[in-house]
Structure 1
Amino acid sequence: MWDAPTLLIMFVLGLFASTFGAIVGLGGGVIIVPALLLLGSSMLGMDIDTTLAVGVSLGALVFTSFTSTLTFVREGKADLRSALFFSLSSGPFSLVGASLTSLFDPDAFRKAFGYFMLFMVVLLLFRNRIKPYQGQWRYVRTYTDAAGMQQEYGYNALPALLIGGAVGLIAGLLGIGGGVLLIPAMMLLFRFPPHIASATSMAVIFVSALFGSGMHLARGEWDWMLVLALAPGALIGGWLGARISRRIGSVLLIRIMCGALLLFALRMIIT
C-alpha cells in the first residue's frame, strides 16, 4: 500500500490542502476529508469511514496550523491574545464534537451547515452594506496596516466564547478546522481586518485540532500512517500558505475566502 506513488499522492494532498487552507484561514480539512473518503479504497486499499477521515484530517491540521501560525506570528498578523480567548471554548468543545462524530447523522448536518455557509457568503459579499456593530467592546484591539492606517476591532466575552465553542464543535465533528465559521464571525461581528482574521483563525484551529485529534486518537478513530503520510506536505503547506497570504490584498483575499466558502457550502449540500 505504501509505495512511492502513494506516498507522493499523500504528500501532494497534504501540501495542496494545507497551502490553500493557510491562505484563507480555513485549515484545509475541507479538502482532506472528502479526498480520504474517495481515495481510501481505490488508492490506499483500505476502507476509510467518516470518523477515521475526520480524525486523520484533524491530525494533519495540527501540523498545518502550527507552521502557518508561527509564520503569521513572525509577520505580526496573528492576534494571539484574541486567539487564546476564542480557544478557551473552542478547545473543550472540539472534544465534544469529536466524541459525537460517530453518533451524529452526518448527511443531515452537512446539508444544514452547507445552507448556513451560503448565508455566510452572502453576508460577506454584502458586508459593506451592513450597518456595523455600534456598541462598545469589552476587549478592544488595534492593527496598523502597511500604509500606516490604524484599524480598531474587538469583541465581548460572551459572544466570543459562544462562537469559539461553535467553532470547536464543528472542528471536532467534521474535521474541517472551524475557520469556515470563525472567519465570517470575526469579520462581520467584530470587524477583524481580513488578514488578521485569517491568521488568527489558524491559531484557533491549532488548539481545536490538537484537542479534537486527541479525542479521536483516544477513541481509536485514527491511523498513524495516514497522518504521518500527510504531515510533511501539511507542514510545508502551512508555511507556504502563510507566505503567499501576505502578498494578497484584502479585497482579493475576501474574494478567495468567499469562493472557498461557496465551494465548501455546495459540497456540503450536494454530497
Structure 2
Amino acid sequence: MEWVLLVAAGLFSGIVGALVGLGGGIILVPAIVYLGAIGWLEGITPQTVVGLSVLMMIFTGLSSTLAYMKKNTVDFKSGFIFFAGSAPGTVIGAFVNKGLDLPSFQLYFGVMMVFISILLLLRKCLKPVRWFVDHGKQTTLTVARGTYVYGYPIWFALLLTFIIGFSSGLFGISGGAMLVPAMILLFLFPPHLAVGTSMFMIFLSALVNSVTHISLGNVPWLYTIPVIPAAYIGAKVGAYLNQRLNSEHLVVALQIVLLLFGIRSIYEGIM
C-alpha cells in the first residue's frame, strides 16, 4: 500500500512541478510528512523527507529540461547564473536542516507554504517592474507570441537565487515557486521561458543539493524506488501539458492546497 501512495505522490509531484515550474518538492514534502504523521510511512524525519525530495528533483528537473529544450524555452546562460547563486545556498540549507526536529520543521515549512501560496495568489495582481531590466544586461527574444525584452543585474540574481537555494536545501523544495514569479515580474521573462529556465536551474541545483544530503545520510533509498520513476514520468507529462494548457487554473488550485497544507503544518508544529 505504501508503495502505491509513493508512486501517486511522485507522479503528481512531477506533473505539477513541470507544468508550473515548481520542481515538485513543494508537493512531495507535505505529502510524505503527512503520510508519515498518520503512520502510513515509517522512518520519516525532516532529514529523510528532504533527502528524498531533493533526489527526486534531479530527475524531474532533467526530464522537464529535456522536454523544454525541444521547444527552445530554456535560457541556458541565465540558468547557469541562477545556479551559481543557488548552489552554495543549498549546501548551507542542508546543514541547517540537520538541527530541525519534526515539530520545528512542520512549523517553519508551514510558514513557507503559506508564503508561497500568497506569492502565487498575488502574482497576477502585481505589476511588472522594469527597473531590473533597465539596470541589467538585456536580451531580446522574438517568438510567435511577440517580442520580449528581459534582463537583470547579475548581482541581484545571485543574491535572490542564494536565498532560494537556502530554502531548497532546508526544506527540500525547488524554489521555482519563488523564482518563476521573480523572473516574470522583475526580470520580465516570457512565462514559458521562465518555467523552462527555472526547471534547468532546479536540475543543476538538485545535483549539488543531493550530494550534500547523501553525504549527511539523509536519503531513504528504499523510498526512492517508487518515487523517482513516477516523478520522472510525471515531469514529462507536465512539460507536455505546459505547451497545451492554461496552467493558471492549476495554479489557483495549487494556491488553495498549499494554503491548507501550510495552515495544517503550522498547527501540527505548534501543537
Specify the code of the residue in structure 1 equivalent to 2:91: L
Q: Structure 1 residue 144 and structure 2 residue 142: aligned?
A: yes
Residue 131 of structure 1: how far off its partner (Å) = 5.8
Number of the residue aligned with 2:59 = 63
Number of the residue aligned with 1:17 = 13
Equivalent of 1:132, from 126, 129, 132? Answer: 129
**C-alpha contact (below 8 Å) 1:67/1:239 kept by paired residues:** yes
> 224-233 or 130-139: which moved more?
130-139
SS of 2:123's partner is helix
CA 1:209 to 1:131, structure 2 compared with 1: closer, same or farther past 3 Å?
Answer: closer
Number of the residue aligned with 1:256 = 250
Give me the identity figure in percent: 33
Q: Structure 1 residue 223 and structure 2 residue 220: aligned?
A: yes
Query: What does the per-residue CA deviation read over 1:160-200, in whole Å, with 9 as the maximum and x for residues that have no partner?
Result: 00111011111111111111111111111111111111111
Instruction: Report how many residues are paired.
Output: 260
Distance 2:34 2:94 in 1: 21
Number of the residue aligned with 1:205 = 202
TM-score (norm 2): 0.87
SS of 2:144's partner is coil
CA 1:6 to 1:102, structure 2 compared with 1: closer, same or farther past 3 Å?
Answer: same
Equivalent of 1:177, from 171, 174, 177? Answer: 174
Number of the residue aligned with 2:108 = 109
**C-alpha contact (below 8 Å) 1:93/1:166 kept by paired residues:** yes
CA 1:115 to 1:8, structure 2 compared with 1: closer, same or farther past 3 Å?
Answer: closer
Q: Which runs of 5+ in 2 are unaligned?
A: 266-271
Q: Which runs of 5+ in 1 are unaligned?
A: none
**C-alpha contact (below 8 Å) 1:25/1:199 kept by paired residues:** yes
Distance 1:93 1:15 in 2: 27
Specify the code of the residue in structure 2 equivalent to 1:142: T
Distance 1:133 1:262 in 2: 30
> 118-127 or 216-225: which moved more?
118-127
**C-alpha contact (below 8 Å) 2:117/2:258 kept by paired residues:** no
Number of the residue aligned with 1:267 = 261
Residue 234 of structure 1: how far off its partner (Å) = 1.3
Cα root mean square deviation, aligned: 2.1
Number of the residue aligned with 2:211 = 214
Q: Which residues in structure 2 correspond to 1:232-251 (within 5 Å)? A: 232-248=229-245
Distance 1:239 1:91 in 2: 25
Q: Which residues in structure 2 correspond to 1:80-119 (within 5 Å)? A: 80-104=76-100, 105-119=104-118
SS of 2:247's partner is helix
CA 1:48 to 1:234, structure 2 compared with 1: closer, same or farther past 3 Å?
Answer: same
TM-score (norm 1): 0.87
Specify the code of the residue in structure 2 equivalent to 1:236: I
CA 1:154 to 1:257, structure 2 compared with 1: closer, same or farther past 3 Å?
Answer: farther
CA 1:33 to 1:208, structure 2 compared with 1: closer, same or farther past 3 Å?
Answer: same
CA 1:30 to 1:131, structure 2 compared with 1: closer, same or farther past 3 Å?
Answer: closer
